[in-house]
Amino acid sequence: MLILLPPSEGKTPPRRGSQLDLSRLAMPALAAPRSKVLAALVALCQSDEAVVAARTLGLGVTQHHEVARNARLREAPTARAERIYSGVLYEALDLATLTGPDSRRATSWLAITSSLFGLVRPSDRIPAYRLSGDVTLPGVGPVATFWSRHLDAAVREAAGSGLVVDLRSSTYTPFWRPGADLAKRVATLRVLHEVDDTRLVVSHFNKATKGRIVRALLEEGTAPRTPHRFAEHLTALGWTVEVGPPGRAGTRIDVVVGQL
């Protein structure tokens, strides 16, 4: 089973650690496109026009330190990706506290979508960086379009013959879309908050619930092989689940929660 996660804009910069080595990241077939995006991002942020770089990256006036951090990415200390990403989903998932087989499943099941690296495993050592999925990077173009040309083979290899569970946010779904042959093995998961017969997607709690769901899957250890089996598994774990029809992006699975 392969579980695709979104990144978090919030990241925790490590105070010390080895420098980035692209050759040591998982999915080595992505080394060349990773190198191209890294070079373009560093060049942008090393230019004399910090204001232009910040505007290109969608950063406000109080975030110019992110430009300086990007300029030093090749020399910056690295840490495991599970410690770098620090948003709501990752706080709820709390990968660093998993041990034994649960931790090994996280390493083999999880792949984090990254505007800089395409996909990374939780154990990959990366620096803290700032590059959102909706950025158009000089020399690369829209990063989502760029990665859409490179990720399919990596996703297929990582998934093997198993299920792909897609938890990515709308910003990162264009990075990879399943072909018609693979869509039947893709489950796209959405969290809905139901109050007084009204259902809403609430961003903060959507992310937190997804983190809790993934942790429960890692701790339980079963790897369903079809979207419907996956939905049954979530139900057995205590979630309220509704299954939609198959589509081009896979089978949509809604998890409905009344309390957040």
pLDDT band at 255 (very low <50, low <70, confident <90, very high): very high
For the chain, percent of residues with pLDDT exceeding 90: 87
Statement: residue 106 has pLDDT above 80: yes
Mean pLDDT, the chain, rounded, equals 94
250 in Cβ contact with 183 (< 8 Å): yes
pLDDT band at 46 (very low <50, low <70, confident <90, very high): very high
65 vs 144, higher pLDDT:
144
What is the average pLDDT across 36-64? Answer: 91
Indicate yes or no: pTM above 0.85: yes
Statement: residue 60 has pLDDT above 70: yes
Q: What is the pLDDT, as a whole number, of residue 49?
A: 81
d(CA 165, CA 83): 22
**What does the pLDDT look like over 152-186, one tens digit per residue?**
999 999 999 999 999 999 999 999 999 999 999 99
Statement: residue 20 has pLDDT above 90: yes
Domain ranges in the chain are: 2-257
What is the average pLDDT across 66-75? Answer: 96
d(CA 224, CA 71): 43
pLDDT band at 51 (very low <50, low <70, confident <90, very high): confident
d(CA 134, CA 125): 24
Cα-only R_g, the chain: 18
Q: What is the pLDDT, as a whole number, of residue 195?
A: 74
193-to-169, 200, 236, 253, 254 alpha-carbon distances in Å: 16, 5, 20, 14, 10
Nearest to 41 by CA among 15, 86, 76, 3: 76
Number of helices (H), then strands (E), belonging to the chain: the values are: 11, 12
Statement: residue 204 has pLDDT above 80: no
For the chain, percent of residues with pLDDT exceeding 70: 98
pLDDT band at 197 (very low <50, low <70, confident <90, very high): confident
pLDDT band at 64 (very low <50, low <70, confident <90, very high): confident
